[in-house]
Chain A
Amino acid sequence: MEALYEHNQADVNDAKSQQRTDLIPSVRFRHCCLLRNRRCVCTYLYDRLLRIRALRWEYGSVLPANVRFHMSAEELQWFARYKKSLASYMRSLGASGGLDITQEMKPPKSLYVQVRCVKDHGELEMDDGTLVLLKKNSQHFLPRWECEQLIRQGVLEHVVP
């Protein structure tokens, strides 16, 4: 894009100083190319921002290191600001501390869900302090909110009875 811009500048100066009207179509052509390229780059950057926004809903507020590696500093800043804005919105909902709306993405069919452990994960501590040992190929019937994070990570697998 810079090369195109340089050429255009040169030609515009030429046209202005030497009254060469035959350079004008090439200038316009280069200008259109520049506009198009700018639109593409903007679309690409905007799409990246949308995906980063989706990452917040998928991964939670801490992104894994391999994802953060691929983001630029400005994108990280944008992500931090988005996180803050989402958090303050969630705090304002509902009583006493707000509602975490990133939890139930689809309306749940039941309070408890049957899951199967796909790989060894060790012990899981639930909200009320009880421990569950997640061994490979064991099946469990647990409250939905305990399992969702692990289902997304691939440690547990939802089983339809």
Chain B
Amino acid sequence: MFVTDIRKEFYEVVANQRVALLVAPDIDALCACKILQALFHCDQIQYTLVPVTGWQDLGTAFFEHKKQFRYFVLINCGANVDLLEMLQPDDDSILFICDTHRPVDVVNVYNDTQIKLLIKQDDDLGVPLYDEIFRDDEDEEEEEGNDSGNESDNGSEPSGKRRRFDEGEIERRIERQREKREWEARRKEILFDYEQYEYHGTSAAIMFFELAWVLTKDTKDMLWWAVIGLTDQWVHDKITNMKYVTDIGTMQRHVSRHNHRNEDEENSLSIDCMRISFEYDLRLTLYQHWSLYESISNSCYTSCHFKLWTLNGQKKLQEFLADMGLPLKQVRQKFTSMDMSIKENLREVIEESSNKFGLKDIRIQTFGVHFGFKNRFLASDMVHASTALLESTEKDKSETDNFIKALDSLSRSNLERLHLGIDLAKKKLIAIQQTVASCICTNLILSQGPFLYCYLTEGTPDVKLFSKPMALTLLCKYLLKAFIQSTRNKRCRLLPLIMAAPKDVDKGTVLVVGIPPDAETSDKKNFFGRAFEKAAESTSSRTLHDHFDTSIIELKTEDRSKFLDALITLLS
């Protein structure tokens, strides 16, 4: 059931109890986890934090901890699956779920006792009504009883009466059965429509920040984490533009509330204190920690618009830089060492020039933080750095090790880790751009009819980076945008894209990711989750649907072709 008053029904319930936190591996979940940890530290609520990387991991962790804990909080995992069936909790366990995955499973919505959803109800959920899905079976038992009662009376009643009763009974029974069949068919249809598309709702970090705000225990650190959680959803293209702008507006109110409290002429804060500011900043990834030229070459938006994998594109880039009056030597330097005179009006200058060249949305609303003289970060910088740490492909580092590293990098006291993350993120972005360029130039993207398909062979450089789900999804999105720019086939521009990359060479598996078609006003709803499931079933391919995002699966390399064929027939 949905929790209406998060303070009374969640926080005060766990106030004197011990809680187990099961957290999914994405940045939004990490930020939500940090906010909740800070709240728990404040009120001395004992907890245990366990990172979970997939459904199997969730099951194992729950099983191991269910004897010791009564209250569980699941962050960014569990809402879209029937948890009672999957985890089989004891009768007195209570699970609080704060998850951005939609659609929320109907069992989770309508269970009143054990599952509490920390989700806003006005989040355009569209949950079907109770009566349309669940039906009491009491009527059926009564009619069975009546029928058998009548049949046992058959012998004693006179035959005329019996025939009349029988006819009435049979008619009613047939009527009831027909109704039942109709109801079941309707129910199947409703459930199919409801569960067909997968999408994301309000960030979990924002939910917990609002809890902190209601408790008046919110701090700037928590606000910054909430902003990072929201930005993660935008960077990985999980929410629509409209929703992003709306949520930014909400965050902006909180930011001005925090800023207003502290700064005035007599007591200005020391330079080391943390300041969050609203920025209408450039959409160039990591540009303040890189050189401007590298950032423009490796950001999806600019690279796709200029088509930087072609010679023409490179020339256009040079024209663009010349138009702005930026000397090449300056632009190739580290951003922090560029001339102050250039940096002062950089954003306006770039915006003007980009409008001339057709890049309409070079600036985006976001937030930045700075503390101390050296440390300035934008929210998207933090997201890229933490994601790179979370999915780093170093040997001998388990996924939980990476989780801990990424969690640490979000604190202000771990700046070296953050800088390490930024370096890893730069390498990842360069790898993505090179792979996109090579895929487009060698025409690796094939149109299979209802969708586009691309397969990264094992020899591709940096293919190890793409054995991780979020990196592969990012590559997928950039590739689709680049493909749309480079193809002349109008129909192909509206197709979704499926990408496969080798995941584990020893086990012989590939990671398959499907993303919806790219459009300005797309609602980011992904139907590949169900499609993959059906295709796997029909061809009995060996697949592992372990990720919390159902559109990402692992598949045996040999089953690749028959799986694809099944998908083509399913979707055409």
How far apart are the CA atoms of A130 and B37 in the complex, in Å? 21
CA distance A137 to B403 in the complex (A): 9
Residue of B45, B68, B401 near A141 (CB, 8 A) is B45
**Can you offer 9 A-B residue contacts whose CB atoms are under 8 A?**
A111-B44, A112-B46, A133-B64, A133-B65, A138-B48, A138-B51, A140-B46, A143-B46, A161-B411
Q: Which residues of chain A come closer than 8 Å to B37, judged between CB atoms?
A: 114, 141, 161
Name the interface residues of B370-409: CB closer than 8 Å to any CB of A.
398, 400-401, 403-404
- B43-80 interface (Cβ within 8 A of A): 44-51, 64-65, 67-68
Enumerate chain A interface residues (CB-CB to B < 8 A).
110-112, 114, 116, 130-133, 135-143, 160-161
* Contact B49–A131 (Cβ < 8 Å): no
Chain A residues within an 8 Å CB radius of B46? 112, 140-143
Complex Cα gap A116–B64 (Å): 18
Contacts of A132 in B (CB 8 A): 48, 68
Tell whether, in the assembled complex, residue B400 and residue A131 are in contact, meaning their CB atoms are under 8 Å apart: no
Q: Are B41 and A130 closer than 8 Å at their CB atoms?
A: no
Closest to B19 in A: A141
Q: How far is the CA of A160 from the CA of B407 in the complex (A)?
A: 12
B321 at the interface (CB under 8 A from A): no
Closest to B400 in A: A137
CA distance A141 to B50 in the complex (A): 12
Q: Is the CB of A161 within 8 A of B403?
A: no
In the A-B complex, the 3 residue pairs with the smallest Cβ-Cβ separation, listed nearest first, are: A137-B400, A139-B49, A131-B68
Q: Chain A residues with Cβ under 8 A from B18's Cβ?
A: 130
B40 at interface, CB cutoff 8 A: yes
Q: Would A136 and B41 count as touching, CB distance under 8 A?
A: no
Q: Does B471 contact A (CB under 8 A)?
A: no
Which B positions have Cβ atoms within 8 angstroms of A?
18, 37-38, 40-41, 44-51, 64-65, 67-68, 398, 400-401, 403-404, 411, 413
- The dominant DSSP class at the B interface is mixed
Q: In the assembled complex, how far is the CB of residue B56 from the closest CB belonging to chain A, in whole angstroms?
A: 15
**Docked-complex contact A161 and B67, CB < 8 angstroms:** no
Q: Given the complex, which residues of A lie within 8 Å of B398, measured CB to CB?
A: 137
Task: Collect the chain B residues with CB atoms within 8 Å of residue A112's CB.
Answer: 41, 44, 46
Q: How far is the CA of A130 from the CA of B71 in the complex (A)?
A: 14
> A138 contacts which of B38, B40, B49, B413 (Cβ < 8 Å)?
B49
User: When A112-B46, A140-B48, A141-B47 are in contact, do A133 and B38 touch as well, CB less than 8 Å?
Assistant: no
CB distance from A136 to the nearest CB of B (A): 7
Across the two chains, which residue of chain B brings its CB closest to A113?
B41
Which residue of A is nearest B51, CB measured? A137
In the complex, A65→B562 CA distance in Å?
62
Tell me the minimal C-beta distance from B474 to chain A in angstroms. 25
Contact A141 B41 (CB under 8 A): yes
CB of A116 within 8 A of CB of B404, answer: yes
Query: In this complex, what residue of B is CB-closest to A134?
Result: B48
Q: Which one of B44, B45, B48, B401 has the greatest number of beta carbons of chain A within 10 Å? A: B48
Which residue of B has the minimal Cβ distance to A143?
B46
Q: How far is the CA of A116 from the CA of B68 in the complex (A)?
A: 18
Cβ B401 vs Cβ A137 within 8 A: yes
| Beyond A130-B18, A139-B48, 9 extra complex contacts between A and B, CB < 8 Å | A114-B37, A132-B48, A133-B48, A133-B68, A135-B64, A137-B403, A139-B404, A143-B46, A161-B37
**CA of A110 to CA of B46, assembled, Å:** 13
Does the CB pair B413–A160 fall under 8 Å? yes
Establish whether residues A140 and B41, one from each chain, have CB atoms under 8 Å apart when the complex forms.
no
Residue numbers in A under 8 Å from B49 (CB-CB) = 138-140
- Closest chain-A Cβ to B551's Cβ sits at a distance in Å of 27
Closest chain A residue, CB of each to CB of B221: A161
Q: A137-B51, A137-B403, A140-B47 are in contact. Are A131 and B41 (CB under 8 A)?
A: no
